[in-house]
Structure 1
Amino acid sequence: MRGRRIGTAALAAASVLGASACGIATAEEDSVADKDQLVIGVNKDQPGVGARTPGGGYEGFDIDIAREVAKRLGVTGGNVTFKEVTSGTRQQMIKNGDVDLVVASYSITPDRKAEVTFAGPYYIAHQDVLVRGDSPIRNVRELKDRNLCKVEGSVSYERVTKEKGVAAKLVPATGYADCLDKLTKGTVDAVSTDDLILAGLAAQAAKSGGAQGGTPKIVNAPISDENYGIGMRLGDADGCATVNKAITDMYQDGTAQGLLRKWFAPVGLKYTTTVPQFEGCE
């Protein structure tokens, strides 16, 4: 086991006391700050963000972020293992101990913070809408009575139907790759989620060609901020602080900006390059 990092011991002690008061079992060896090996939950169906490659590996912005964070925690090469998660499974997989970290376009919300601890955010995305190239839809309000893709476990469709009160017709999908397939085939009229995911889907559709109604486009009418966090076991304040330092260093040395350019500059997405305001490691 690697030694504990200087400057985090006091925070770890406070975490132990706080966790005990809340009835959460916390052991030093459970912190991601001290692991020699890391299992990281990632998406497999979000081109440009987190996607499975034909060779069986993973690629995308989140995958590169995960590798960089792991490296800055002292874990590299074969000691880093990726495991597939979905919007519906990632929370429980953290709680079960199936994964140590989740880097999977995982928006920080109050409800989720009650079940897992989040480092970050490492990026602030914005929920937008993806439609076919010939679609007249210009904003979320125009999704009324339209078929909207619904990915179970995601909060994106609820922001449209509940928070914005738009009476869209929900069409279930297994993930965002399925949403893209339904969009290009005309089964749904729109996909609404984070702009990084939508940009990756649009790029994938452009490469594939043959989309009904033309290559999908983002309407560029964002409706919310999506704070992408790195999820870990509830109460791991030491791990959270260590991961936050890794994220800060990535922005300070230009690594994060380079990854954003790598994955999203080619599709014309306007992305933010400043370090986000962290949520804190409660």
Structure 2
Amino acid sequence: MRRTGAVLAAAAMAVSLAACSDTHTYSSVEEKIREAGEVTIGTKWDQPNLSLKQGEGEPKGFDVDVAKYIVKELADGQDVKITWRESRQANREALLQNGTVDMVIASYSITAARKNYVTFAGPYVIAHQDTMVRADATHITKATDLENKRICQVPGSNSYKRITEPPPDGRLGLSATLVGADSYSECLQKLGSGGLDAVTTDDMILAGLSSHDPKRYKLLRNPFTDERYAVGLKKGDTATCEAVNRAVAKMWQDGTASRLLQKWFGKTGLVLPKTAPAAETCS
């Protein structure tokens, strides 16, 4: 029965990956990259310094450069055609499950709940949840000051839960007013117009958003979580997961990870990691 289940799971994986190709089926994303020379990657399109798409060009940022490095490693250095798809917080799991994308590299933090639906490779870097306020705000200096304040709620993101819920799913268990937004770029607009008191999410996201208008916004520099940014894969694609983990290890060993962090965040004031994070077990 166990062997039969494994065979059925492999067949389901091949059918799903076939949706990304007109003529072939593949047992894993790694195999598709090697044999077809193409891959579809989901990224954010509205996060400066991480992944920002402007005009007709491809997105640019740290996540995009990490994705390119990983794909090239999986292809043994051969050229691969990458198709970029927008992947927001609310639809990342669905895009993987229905085969619209082969992998998601989009400030995608590993959580226990998400692991029920996604196989995570990496993490490739660790971010930390922090808080951003308007530059003239003096009444909010740390995360616990968000009691009874208006904070942003983005569908699919766990950041607001870290504030409003207690452990184990949350962190601080504060009473705050949640103001909905479709993305963190919309949260920034609401903060600037006075519709919010603060935006709280990963420091890399906030640093990218605030760095383009540093006189208007400020980070509290009061991190209180570890957010393990990983590569999201269709549940069960362990072969690609293991290959990505090898690529991530090499990216840190050869200095590429540190160079990319400095390139995209060196001027933001963030304390940048200097060592590779511990790899997630592929499952």
**1:183 pairs with 169, 177, 191, which one?**
191
Alpha-carbon separation, structure 1, partners of 2:26 and 2:9: 18
Are the counterparts in 2 of residues 19 and 26 from structure 1 also a CA contact under 8 Å? Answer: no
Alpha-carbon separation, structure 1, partners of 2:62 and 2:5: 33
Q: Which runs of 4+ in 1 moved over 4 A?
A: 16-19, 21-24, 75-78
- Equivalence for 1:44: 45
User: Does 2:138 match 1:152?
Assistant: no
Task: Return 5+ residue gaps in structure 1 as ranges.
Answer: 1-15, 207-213
Kindly provide the amino acid, as one letter, of the partner of residue 174 in structure 2. Answer: V
Task: Return 5+ residue gaps in structure 2 as ranges.
Answer: 15-24
Kindly provide the amino acid, as one letter, of the partner of residue 138 in structure 1. Answer: T
User: Does 2:34 match 1:33?
Assistant: no
Kindly provide the amino acid, as one letter, of the partner of residue 135 in structure 1. Answer: A
Alignment of 1:42-121 (within 5 A): 42-74=43-75, 79-121=81-123
Tell me by how many angstroms 1:55 deviates: 3.8
- Equivalence for 2:219: 218
Alpha-carbon separation, structure 1, partners of 2:8 and 2:126: 30
User: Does 2:254 match 1:253?
Assistant: yes
Alpha-carbon separation, structure 1, partners of 2:199 and 2:274: 25
Kindly provide the amino acid, as one letter, of the partner of residue 196 in structure 1. Answer: M
Are the counterparts in 2 of residues 130 and 217 from structure 1 also a CA contact under 8 Å? Answer: yes
Q: Alpha-carbon deviations, 1:179-226, whole Å to 9, x = none? A: 1111111111111111100100111223xxxxxxx5211101111100
Alpha-carbon separation, structure 2, partners of 1:165 and 1:154: 16
Task: Provide the aligned C-alpha RMSD in A.
Answer: 1.9
User: Does 2:202 match 1:202?
Assistant: no
Kindly provide the amino acid, as one letter, of the partner of residue 6 in structure 2. Answer: S
Alpha-carbon separation, structure 2, partners of 1:160 and 1:271: 24
User: Does 2:6 match 1:20?
Assistant: yes
Tell me by how many angstroms 1:18 deviates: 9.5
Kindly provide the amino acid, as one letter, of the partner of residue 39 in structure 1. Answer: T
**Distance change >3 Å, CA 228–CA 17, structure 1 → 2:** farther
Alpha-carbon separation, structure 2, partners of 1:184 and 1:198: 14
Tell me by how many angstroms 1:145 deviates: 1.4
Are the counterparts in 1 of residues 72 and 80 from structure 2 also a CA contact under 8 Å? Answer: no
Q: Alpha-carbon deviations, 1:86-110, whole Å to 9, x = none? A: 0000111000010000000000011
Alpha-carbon separation, structure 1, partners of 2:3 and 2:195: 53
**1:138 pairs with 115, 136, 141, which one?**
141
